[in-house]
């Protein structure tokens, strides 16, 4: 390509691949993403090389594996303490910085609050960037402005107020008191900022734009219009914006269905505003020379697994959590409609961007992923992967063509499923796996980890948050 293409990367947090129409969901309403997918190449076996939110971003920003989480050191004044949840190191170069050296103008807009923690270091290389405040526990608005009446739909106000000022529901309520219509939600501000960016800079090509949405992550509270598309009109229970991660036995089936209705409403909400953004690109004639990538960091569970887990505890690395959507629209929609079922990682996105912008040949740039271009355009070399690995907290995920396994960091297989014969992943066969196969799995996991899995379990009893309280 004579003119370097623009690059637009859209990341949605906690978006399950199977909650999009283009991935086979017959209930969800995602007409814009589905229409966009017809101009894309769709990957059916895309996974994140580590989890959750921040490790995924570290991997995409650097193009290198965060797995197996070496040199973990908790960041002060954060709200999450997990192995791998750490800033980009000053000694690491980033995709954005390297694109700037290649003449790219760069922009970044996000409402993902974990970027906001002091010292996270993700804005390096961006000529423009915007943090849209107010999601979940974002320390934005004062909890003191919340009245008891504002909390009644979530549960007992007195119980919530006992945890002032750090209660998640209390923070969420304070941050959302200003919302009167869908136009007040951060997802709208996100795509409006992105639309303004491309309009202001469509003559400043090439550009790289990262749009990082915290939706449909908790809080699961969609605008009424979107939520009612999926809800039971007779539901009279409380609004549950965030669950305890683990078995859903404490929730009624009606409560779980209402949570799912809000989640699906948020997905449809994203779809509406993503569609408007794509229309803007079309009006500005930017799609002719732009690569647009749509993906997620991970998913979540709604008790649709053998242990009826809801949310995303680290030991529940089922397809609902680990599998991600990946749609790539090449300039001029080359090879639109192609479906690829090869094993791919999220770090392959970074390698692909380096490839399409001509930077992959730069020997000073070290990456661990592979460019997806050879698969997409049937030219060049692709190294077939026989298996995949990932880490989340103190759990390891492994899959190959036949087996899906969840292990602890000592190598014990906690659960395992036959991929081909148990497509709903309901029969645990961990006790049926031969010793040789177990050894093969663990050997591969250690090989990907560089010889060992770092153990941070000794840190857990002493980890403290900003208030000096022990984290469980």
Separation CA 169–CA 167 (nearest Å): 6
pLDDT at 371: 98
Q: Which tokens is 315 given? A: 């030991």
Separation CA 328–CA 305 (nearest Å): 29
User: Do residues 393 and 312 lie in contact, with contact meaning Cβ atoms separated by under 8 Å?
Assistant: no
User: Do residues 222 and 187 lie in contact, with contact meaning Cβ atoms separated by under 8 Å?
Assistant: no
pLDDT at 458: 85
**What tens digit of pLDDT does each residue of 118-141 get?**
999 999 999 999 999 999 999 999
Separation CA 135–CA 131 (nearest Å): 11
**What tens digit of pLDDT does each residue of 2-52 get?**
689 999 999 999 999 999 999 999 999 999 999 999 999 999 999 999 999
End-to-end Cα distance, the chain: 53
Residues of the chain with pLDDT under 70: 1-2, 460-472
Q: Buried b vs exposed e over 136-154: b needs ≥16 C-beta within 10 Å?
A: bbbbebebeebeeebbeeb
pLDDT at 232: 96
Q: Give the three-state DSSP class for 420.
A: coil
User: Do residues 292 and 207 lie in contact, with contact meaning Cβ atoms separated by under 8 Å?
Assistant: no
Fold classification of 6-141+177-386 is Alkaline Phosphatase, subunit A (3.40.720)
User: Do residues 256 and 322 lie in contact, with contact meaning Cβ atoms separated by under 8 Å?
Assistant: no
Q: Which tokens is 257 given? A: 């269905």
Q: Give the three-state DSSP class for 111.
A: coil
pLDDT at 442: 98
pLDDT at 466: 40
Can you state the percent helix, strand and coil of the chain, rounding each to 5? Answer: 35, 20, 50
H or E element, residue 324 = strand 323-329
pLDDT at 460: 61
User: Do residues 395 and 407 lie in contact, with contact meaning Cβ atoms separated by under 8 Å?
Assistant: yes
User: Do residues 237 and 259 lie in contact, with contact meaning Cβ atoms separated by under 8 Å?
Assistant: no
């Amino acid at each position: 390509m004579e003119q370097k293409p623009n690059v637009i990367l859209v990341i949605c947090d906690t978006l399950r691949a199977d909650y999009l129409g283009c991935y086979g969901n017959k209930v969800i309403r995602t007409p814009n993403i589905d229409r966009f997918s017809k101009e894309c190449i769709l990957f059916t076996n895309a996974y994140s090389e580590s989890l959750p939110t921040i490790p995924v971003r570290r991997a995409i920003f650097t193009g290198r594996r965060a797995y197996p989480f070496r040199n973990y050191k908790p960041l002060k004044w954060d709200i999450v303490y997990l192995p791998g949840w750490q800033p980009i190191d000053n000694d690491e170069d980033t995709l954005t910085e390297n694109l700037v050296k290649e003449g790219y103008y760069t922009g970044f807009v996000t409402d993902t609050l974990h970027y906001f923690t002091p010292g996270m270091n993700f804005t390096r290389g961006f000529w423009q960037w915007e943090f849209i405040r107010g999601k979940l526990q974002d320390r934005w608005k004062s909890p003191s402005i919340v009245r008891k009446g504002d909390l009644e739909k979530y549960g007992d106000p007195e119980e919530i107020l006992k945890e002032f000022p750090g209660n998640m529901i209390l923070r969420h309520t304070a941050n959302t008191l200003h919302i009167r219509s869908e136009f007040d939600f951060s997802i709208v501000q996100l795509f409006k900022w992105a639309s303004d960016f491309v309009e202001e800079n469509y003559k400043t090509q090439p550009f790289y734009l990262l749009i990082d949405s915290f939706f449909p992550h908790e809080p699961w509270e969609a605008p009424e219009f979107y939520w009612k598309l999926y809800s039971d009109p007779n539901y009279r229970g409380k609004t549950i914006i965030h669950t305890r991660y683990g078995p859903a036995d404490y929730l009624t089936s009606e409560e779980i269905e209402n949570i799912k209705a809000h989640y699906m409403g948020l997905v449809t909400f994203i779809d509406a505003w993503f569609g408007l953004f794509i229309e803007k690109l079309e009006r500005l004639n930017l799609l002719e020379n732009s690569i647009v990538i749509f993906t997620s960091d991970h998913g979540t569970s709604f008790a649709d697994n053998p242990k009826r887990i809801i949310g995303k505890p680290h030991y529940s690395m089922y397809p609902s959590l680990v599998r991600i959507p990946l749609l790539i629209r090449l300039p001029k929609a080359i090879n639109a409609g192609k479906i690829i079922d090869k094993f791919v990682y999220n770090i392959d996105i970074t390698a692909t961007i380096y490839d399409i912008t001509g930077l992959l040949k730069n020997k000073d740039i070290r990456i661990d992923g592979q460019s997806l271009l050879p698969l997409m355009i049937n030219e060049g070399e692709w190294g077939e992967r026989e298996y995949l690995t990932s880490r989340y907290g103190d759990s390891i995920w492994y899959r190959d063509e036949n087996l899906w396994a969840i292990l602890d960091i000592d190598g014990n297989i906690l659960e395992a499923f036959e991929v081909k014969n148990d497509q709903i992943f309901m029969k645990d066969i961990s006790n049926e796996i031969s010793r040789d196969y177990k050894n093969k799995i663990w050997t591969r996991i250690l090989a990907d980890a560089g010889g060992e899995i770092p153990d941070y379990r000794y840190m857990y009893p002493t980890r403290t948050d900003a208030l000096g309280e022990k984290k469980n």
